[in-house]
Amino acid sequence: MQPIIKIEKLSKKYRLGAREPYYSLRDKISELFKFKGHGRGKTKEFWALKDINLAVKQGEALGIIGRNGAGKSTLLKILSQITPPTKGKITMRGRVASLLEVGTGFHPELTGRENIYLNGAILGMSRREINRKFDEIVAFSEIEKFLDTPVKRYSSGMYVRLAFAVAAHLEPEILLVDEVLAVGDTQFQKKCLGKMSEVGKEGRTVLFVSHNMAAIAELCQSCVMLNKGKIVKVGESKKVISVYLANQYKSLTGSVDLTRPMLRRNSLENSLFKWTQIQVINSRGERTSSLEFAEPFEIIISGRATKAIRGLSAGFGVTSALGFPLFNSHVIDAELPSDYPAGKIIFKAKLNPNLLGPGVYNVDVGAVGEGVADWIPEAIRVNVEQVASKAGKAIRSNYDGIVVHPCEWSVQLKR
């Protein structure tokens, strides 16, 4: 049988560098008067995807994994025709629906009912199709009572539930999903995963990009691992995921430069504050991201403000290697000032005690404020070693769970 998606020698080039993402006519006009070789030309080319070959069978649920900037999202964007490839060819044998974001096009002023129609149409459903599935969508979303309330009054949970309910009722032959399960409460996530595996059973093809390895392992039989725009490994999900996790150990470093534009897909282009570096310091003051079990450590994040900024909320979040969010912490939690002058700002957070169990963790950094939005997922990785000897105390190595919570034990014996 012919594959439903056949990708041949696919490449995508982006230009990065000196030039702004968009320019003004004024710049264009003044450029006309400059000599060639002057001004621009500092643009760097960069291949987001390079020579990708892949065939996806009908009914297959394929996971796509890889670090930030590996090209996962670019691949989905090309498959959903949002952006064209630079080279290569894709042959598709079915109707595609893509979920690169839940709630695309939701309008805050419109009611839940109105947004179901709007979002459904944007995702490619006809009005008849929406009418037919309307009750089902409402039931799935669990928001019956608020159907005629503008969505701007919804809680973020309700918003996501409604958005996913619409998306879950699409009936394309090929479904492209990008990280949408990162939001919403755990119970609803499970419901969505259930709905999506149902989709797979009905003979539909699903391509699923996620940082959540548990979700990938549960949903997808096979998996593709991308790195720097190339396919590194294809095969059974479990095997590919274990290669991915093993690679995470290898790429450990105590300090990461955060100025690369590639890291910033989710940030405001002209954010007044941008992260520049993240460091992890162990209890002996060494810069390393390999920590001993239960060893207190420090996270140092530095950034630069181009102007004086107000209402800055900066902080980080820690997720497990499988992509599960554990906790986050912000400077404002510590009742420190939130207004800063222009210049370099260094935030230090001491994690003492260190409650993380043995394993690899990702640290995301984020900053929001007036004119500020800079969010970098997986800015650095931290490895907590399996076994350590802490001051001569023997520590058992078989911990279950992600968190190691210190407990004060006492034992009583009664007769």
Binding mask 164-183 for another protein (x = CB under 8 A): ---------x----------
Closest CB 135 distance from another protein, rounded Å:
19
CB nearer another protein, residue 81 or residue 259: 81
147 binds another protein (CB under 8 A): no
Alpha carbon distance 106, 152 (integer Å): 10
132 binds another protein (CB under 8 A): no
CB nearer another protein, residue 108 or residue 325: 108
Residues from 104 through 123 that contact another protein (CB under 8 A): 104-105, 107, 109-110, 114, 117-118, 121-123
DSSP class of 124? T
Residue 118, Cβ density class (10 Å: 0-12 exposed, 13-18 middle, ≥19 buried): middle
Tokens of 73: 């999202």
1 binds another protein (CB under 8 A): no
CB nearer another protein, residue 79 or residue 294: 79
Tokens of 320: 């497990």
Residue of the chain from 40, 93, 190, 228 that contacts another protein (CB under 8 A): 93
279-297 burial string, b = 16+ CB within 10 Å, else e?
bbbbeeeeebbbbbbbbeb
92 binds another protein (CB under 8 A): yes
Alpha carbon distance 121, 127 (integer Å): 7
Residue of the chain from 43, 53, 126, 397 that contacts another protein (CB under 8 A): 126
268 binds another protein (CB under 8 A): no
Residue of the chain from 18, 82, 336, 387 that contacts another protein (CB under 8 A): 82
Closest CA relative to residue 374, chosen from 260, 275, 256: 275
Phi/psi for 190 (5° steps) reads: -60, -40
Residues from 9 through 68 that contact another protein (CB under 8 A): 14, 21-26, 28
Residue of the chain from 98, 210, 319, 383 that contacts another protein (CB under 8 A): 98
**Strand ordering across the sheet containing 61-65:** 96-99, 174-178, 205-209, 61-65, 222-227, 230-236
Kindly state the number of chain residues that form the binding site for another protein, as judged by CB under 8 A. 46
CB nearer another protein, residue 101 or residue 218: 101
Residue of the chain from 34, 95, 201, 390 that contacts another protein (CB under 8 A): 95
Tokens of 157: 């949970």
Angle between helices 186-201 and 156-168 (to 10 degrees): 0
Closest CB 103 distance from another protein, rounded Å:
10
100 binds another protein (CB under 8 A): yes
Tell me, what amino acid is at 12? Answer: K
186 binds another protein (CB under 8 A): no
- Residue 356's contacts (CB-CB under 8 Å, 6 or more residues apart) are 318, 326, 382, 384, 402, 403, 404
Binding site for another protein (CB under 8 A): 14, 21-26, 28, 77-96, 98, 100-101, 104-105, 107, 109-110, 114, 117-118, 121-124, 126-127, 173
